[in-house]
Structure 1
């Protein structure tokens, strides 16, 4: 067995996205890499899984045959499930997802396929990190991400990520020399004010384009949005237990069985 950690790499932008290619490059300097990623874009899929159709995984050649890569027909969460259960020879020591083209800070974590892949690994008891760059373009420059991705990954492997916690890492879209450092933050309270652009196709059938404006309702200086605005890399410890524990007592006071 290799002494290097086994790292499962995935994403939601698709296996050919520049972000995942950069992530693979960094992970190869840290451990043994196996890639299981969607065969096409799966952004905004959240934690969707495939249950009503078949899944396919195709082994593809990696550059210089330095690692294994699989292109999967499913969602990001599917990729992690299939990778763990069928494609990897042993349980990975770490799962990394990304580098996403665009922000997954604040409420965006709910919709993110990138983070859902990491969360799926976390549910399986695998330490996991989702990485995102605040640049939505396909030709985004990920050079500034490299050192921060490597540092955070190595620290996570050294110290361990707390049980049932996944790290949500967002990187500002500025040159590396403009990034002030890394901040461990809480998720900002924010939401999307959404609207639909209603149109008609040539046959007269209505269709809709979703649009919206991101509104940050949280002005705390301990949030991911504040950190990113100040050119810090934000790290949010994210849990997948959605129970509002502090409110269990107040709901019990409703006397639901009376």
Structure 2
């Protein structure tokens, strides 16, 4: 398979390296990733200036790699339009350093890059891994992607859908399994720390803690229970349940 890899942590991030190292053993891999950290960039694209693309050599990898001074969505767009001549079989975004559970998918550059691929009618996976200061779980996340590719070689993922994967910081033996689940609810108690710079301007730094709703059958719930979660996503945000109701409002 011909696979395009991207992320929002930057082209030198460990997660994308681990994933590329595993995948290039059996697949043709091309990397197109931001030149620096672009976490929580959502689905932003660059319109006000040209994008700078540099072909780079990543030590230890044999695949082609491009560094792009844009957003994750930019990377997918420019790669599919200009950098790759043949059709890509799948876009894989990640492995992200940190989870993208629940409503966090709306902020995530990792998920947005995969959604951009789906807009281009290319199957896509977004994969994220829990971590702490001393440990990460990229190997387990990479193995999960490989297993998913093998399962769907014949019955392939639809080209307008994204599979969002989240892997807990547990060993292979500790993980209870894989659950297909809907998006849960995740909100933040935000606080803004005020300071002043040397010129006297007021500055605010956002900090906060997450509040998870552990409603059953959601990705947040199953993840907390020790499962890898898979959630199918689609970019059509229409609320079909009230479409007719809103029509009636208009009259």
Unaligned runs of 5+ in 2: none
Aligned to 1:148, the other structure's residue is in SS state: helix
Equivalent of residue 120 in structure 1, options 97, 116, 127: 116
Mapped to 1, the partners of 2:97 and 2:33 lie a distance apart of 15
Equivalent of residue 70 in structure 2, options 66, 69, 74: 74
Equivalent of residue 183 in structure 1, options 179, 185, 204: 179
Give the drift of 1:78: 0.3
For 1:140-151, list aligned pairs within 5 A. Answer: 140-151=136-147
Give the drift of 1:195: 2.1
Equivalent of residue 107 in structure 1, options 100, 103, 109: 103
Aligned to 1:248: 243
For 1:1-258, list aligned pairs within 5 A. Answer: 5-63=1-59, 66-135=62-131, 140-220=136-216, 222-256=217-251
Give the drift of 1:194: 1.8
Unaligned runs of 5+ in 1: none
Aligned to 1:21, the other structure's residue is in SS state: helix
Aligned to 2:51, the other structure's residue is in SS state: coil
Count of residues paired in the alignment:
251
Mapped to 1, the partners of 2:61 and 2:218 lie a distance apart of 41
**How well do the aligned residues superpose, as a CA RMSD in angstroms?**
1.7
Give TM-score, length-normalised by structure 1.
0.92
Aligned to 1:97, the other structure's residue is in SS state: strand
* Range that drifts further, 210-219 or 45-54: 210-219
Aligned to 2:149, the other structure's residue is in SS state: helix
Mapped to 1, the partners of 2:20 and 2:44 lie a distance apart of 24
